[in-house]
Amino acid sequence: MAIRVYEEQGIFHLQSKGTSYIMQIVNGYPAHVYWGKQLAFEEQPHSFVDLPEGPLFLLDRLPQEYPQYGTGDFRSPAYQVRLGDGSRITELVYSAYRILKGKPQLEGLPAVYCETENEGETLELELRDAYSGLIVTLSYSVFEDSAAIARSVRIDNQGEQPLQLLRALSASIDMPRSDLDAVYLAGTWNREAHVQRRPLGPGGTTIESRRGASGHLLNPFLALAAPDADEDHGDVFGFSFVYSGNFFISAEVEPFRTTRVGIGINPFDFSWQLAPGEAFQTPEAVMVYSGAGFGEMSRTYHRLYRTRLCRGVHRDRVRPILVNNWEATYFSFTEEKIEEIAKAGAELGIELFVLDDGWFGRREDDHSSLGDWTPNPSKLPGGLTNLAKRVNDLGVQFGLWFEPEMISPDSDLYRSHPDWCLHVEGRRRTEFRWQLILDYSRQDVRDYIYDKLSEIFSTVPISYVKWDMNRNMTEIGSATAGPEQQAEIAHRYMLGLYELLERLTTRFPNILFESCASGGGRFDPGMLYYMPQTWTSDDTDAVERLKIQYGTSFVYPVSAMGAHVSAVPNHQVGRVTSLQMRGDVAMSGNFGYEMDLTRFSDEEKDLAKAQIKRYKEIRSLVQQGDMYRLVSPFAGHEAAWMFVSEDRSEALAYYFKVLAEPNAPQRKLRLKGLDPDKLYKVEESGLVMRGDRLMAIGIGIPAELKDYYSYSVRLKIID
């Protein structure tokens, strides 16, 4: 890891683990030169970018780092500004650079971090527009132990007139090739993170959200891959956005067969007023290069996000095994029923009980009470503290569900403060799921929620909070913002949410927070900064979860994925799968149950006890080891993946067969990530094999003639 500057040539060479990133100042413009496999530093580098000067110099041909529009480059710009005179023309020219030890924090925004200044370095390039007084600072951070580069931008108005930002991307890069495939994660509610792959072509490929959240439909992630790239081979360039609201990622192929990638806040319905002396900080984009396929890219993201994005006391701790009552009871429960489920869980070895929706206000269904965070006396006559104590007395921790960003029109809070929701005066208020969204751009609204939640967290022995968010933004407006600020509200909402989460997680560091947005509707790096795990999907069917968890793993570590065993027939698709398969899929994440455990048969109790005992033995490996994807569920009726400890002394592989095959050939599963020179013993069979054989030849999978079959293999190095 290092940053070397060749001032005479105007060249900046950034090295991170296994990768280099090179730029050059050309006619005052930062130009992109190279991003890929690590290159050695040179003593006297030559000029990389050779373009004619004078009237023949064309910005449309220059591979730029932060391009503008209106001065000769007709491709998509990284930023756009409207000046006080109504013009939109600025011309940023390089003026200075700075190299900082470590990585500065982004004010009010989530971002990856360095724990010590020796873990990374940051290059800042300062660009100026002489006419307007606009100063733009491009930030590039590299890391000692990661092939990642973190980019963000700070925009300062140092002029004498106010200006308006119309577009402010966090990063732009002109890649000198177009023979690339776009790989991204798409879906919808209950069907998140399905892997999509298609070749780039002339024109633009765009993934985005205009929903006020990162969303179920498209995750804020894009990879550009060589056509021959697979899990273990080929060049892959990853782009991940550390933000939870409206995002925009585009790959534009232009006639000269280069590809411009832009990533940042969605410019749709966005603007930001900058008075003289004010600044705007963009969220962060994290770029990862892999020369060894998608698997290496994913593991780079996993390690970085697990250890230098997630924070707090739970970052490095194993996560508790839980039972959640939602699919067991939905809204219909009593104190006695909750205690029965918690008791059944305690007898199985479960460590945490989570009380889901319906415990507050007059909440008997979706129609009321969001915002009224006081216990429902008809369900909890003894209150939350009494219930939590009864659960704790069983030797089980107590957790609670909230949806703090929402308000029901049928609530005491709404009747007292009808202007506290996002709305436009005189217009219809869209009540999706009979609820509206609190205006988190307002400090008074955030303070109210902070006080209400703090009161509960301070008086009830809560060790876990499930923070839900179940609808997207409509009528995006604020009663307290002026006309010129209304297009800022979606981003101000996110800044307000982050501010509230920072306050709560700082005051209550021992509570494990889990993010949820109808499942994976806000599974993004921004939320992981405050909450180290996310409910991956409301779809708990084991077969559907194979695709959802496989796709999510392209960017996010297993330690971030909530995964539960639920009842059959499954409540989302009606499928009946074995308890063994449901357990094996769920044990490939943060393990738990979401069902009525009191209904287990004796045989099911024994199997559940065995699952819980096993997960306690393997969870540090699953949650903190390196994940290797072995067989894609998108390629057929089977799937497989494995987890390997950092020192490669231990491994665990899971194989899943969705549909049985008649007269099937013997299936061998080739493993990955092992030490090729060491002997491994297979726990299940006693078989001893060298790591190179296990990876080249594989290990046999029993041929079971049944659908929905799973098999696991646990290996340890022997002397």
pLDDT at position 665, please?
Answer: 87
> Using 50, 70 and 90 to split pLDDT, how confident is the model at 485?
very high
For 265-307, the pLDDT digits (tens) are 999 999 999 999 999 999 999 999 999 999 999 999 999 999 9
Place of tokens 């500057």: 5
Which residues are CB-contacts of 486 (< 8 A; sequence separation ≥ 6)?
Answer: 476, 477, 478
- Helix crossing, 579-586 with 542-552: angle to 10°? 20
Closest to 375 measured CA to CA, from 461, 460, 468, 463:
460
Predicted pLDDT of residue 56: 53
Report phi then psi at 458, rounded to 5. -85, -20
Residue among 5, 54, 56 at smallest CA distance from 30: 5
- Cα angle 457-593-560, degrees, rounded to a multiple of 5: 65
Query: What is the per-residue pLDDT for 59?
Result: 85
Instruction: Decide if 412 contacts 483 (C-beta within 8 A).
Output: no
Report in angstroms the alpha-carbon separations of 591 from 112, 291, 494, 516, 559. 26, 33, 29, 16, 10
Distance CA 265, CA 248 (A): 6
pLDDT digits (tens, 9 = 90+) for 155-185: 999 999 999 999 999 999 999 999 999 999 9
289 phi and psi, to 5 degrees?
-105, 140
Q: Are strands 352-355 and 397-402 parallel, antiparallel or unpaired?
A: parallel
Q: Is 146 in contact with 307 (CB distance < 8 Å)?
A: no
Q: Determine contact, residues 253/262, Cβ cutoff 8 Å.
A: no
**Which residues, 6 or more positions from 41, have their beta carbon under 8 angstroms from its beta carbon?**
2, 4, 13, 15
C-alpha 714/C-alpha 710 separation (Å) is 14
Helix pair angle (335-348, 383-392), 10° resolution: 20
Q: Is the pLDDT of residue 58 over 90?
A: no
CA distances from 37 to 34, 67, 291, 466, 573 (A): 9, 25, 7, 41, 45
Question: Can you state the percent helix, strand and coil of the chain, rounding each to 5?
Answer: 20, 35, 45
Helices of type H across 508-562: 525-528, 542-552
Q: What is the C-alpha to C-alpha distance for residues 302 and 712, in angstroms, rounded to an integer?
A: 22
Assigned token pair, 92 = 């940023």
Cβ(563)–Cβ(592) below 8 Å? yes
∠ Cα 521 243 224 (to 5°): 90
Q: Are strands 120-129 and 709-718 parallel, antiparallel or unpaired?
A: unpaired
DSSP H or E segment with residue 530: none
Q: Under a CB-based contact definition with an 8 Å cutoff, are residues 464 and 456 in contact?
A: no
With vertex at residue 642, the alpha carbon angle to CA 565 and CA 146, rounded to the nearest 5 degrees, is: 115
What proportion of the chain, given as a percentage, has pLDDT over 90?
94
- For residue 692, what are the CA distances in angstroms to 111, 231, 648, 680, 697? 39, 18, 13, 10, 8
Name 539's bridge partners: none
Whether 55 shows a pLDDT value over 70: the answer reads no
Q: Residue range 43-65: average pLDDT? A: 76
The mean pLDDT of 199-228, rounded to a whole number, is 97
**Residue 106 gets which letter from DSSP?**
P
With a cut of 70, say whether residue 54 has pLDDT above it.
no
C-alpha pair distances (Å), 347 with each of 342, 515, 576, 621: 9, 28, 25, 25
Q: To which H or E segment does residue 173 belong?
A: strand 163-175
Q: How far apart are CA 26 and CA 50, in angstroms?
A: 9
| All residues at 6 or more sequence positions from 693 whose CB lies less than 8 Å from its CB, including other chains | none
- Mean pLDDT, the chain, as a whole number? 96
Of 243, 281, 284, nearest in space to 154 by CA: 281
Residue 515's CB is within 10 A of a number of other CB atoms, namely 27
State yes or no: pLDDT of 375 exceeds 90. yes
Q: What is the pLDDT of residue 1?
A: 65
Helix axes 335-348, 602-624, angle to 10 degrees: 70
Identify the band that residue 53 occupies on the pLDDT scale cut at 50, 70 and 90.
low
Summarize pLDDT for 626-676 with one digit per residue, the tens.
999 999 999 999 999 999 999 999 999 999 999 999 988 889 999 999 999
Percent of the chain with pLDDT over 70: 99
Nearest residue to 334 (alpha-carbon basis) of 365, 351, 359? 359
Catalytic residues, by residue number, are 468, 538
Cβ atoms within 10 A of the Cβ of 495, count? 18
CA atoms of 560 and 533, how far apart (whole Å): 4
pLDDT digits (tens, 9 = 90+) for 554-590: 999 999 999 999 999 999 999 999 999 999 999 999 9
Residue 591, strand partner residues:
563
The candidate with the shortest Cα–Cα distance to 540, out of 580, 567, 578, is 567
Give the length of the chain. 719
Average pLDDT over residues 510-514: 98
What is the tens place of the pLDDT at every residue in 6-37? 999 999 999 999 999 999 999 999 999 999 99
pLDDT the model gives residue 64 = 95
Q: What is the pLDDT of residue 50?
A: 66
Q: In whole angstroms, what is the distance from residue 123 CA to residue 137 CA?
A: 10
Give pLDDT, residue 57.
66
What is the distance between the alpha carbons of residues 498 and 515, in angstroms, rounded to a whole number? 13
CB atoms within 10 A of CB 620: 15
Q: What mean pLDDT do residues 216-244 have?
A: 98
| φ, ψ dihedrals at 598, nearest 5° | -70, -15
What are residue 123's DSSP bridge partners?
99, 140
Residues 6 or more apart whose CB falls under 8 angstroms from that of 140 comprise 14, 21, 122, 123, 124, 125, 149, 150, 151
570 vs 541: CA distance, rounded Å: 6
What mean pLDDT is predicted for residues 311-319?
97
pLDDT at 663: 87
pLDDT of 450-474, one tens digit each?
999 999 999 999 999 999 999 999 9
- Measured from the Cβ of residue 546, the count of other Cβ atoms closer than 10 Å reads 25
| Nearest CA-CA partner of 205 in 230, 233, 239 | 239
CA dihedral 644, 561, 325, 653 (to 10 degrees): -30
From CA 252, how far away is CA 261, in angstroms rounded?
6
Tokens standing for 263?
């990533």
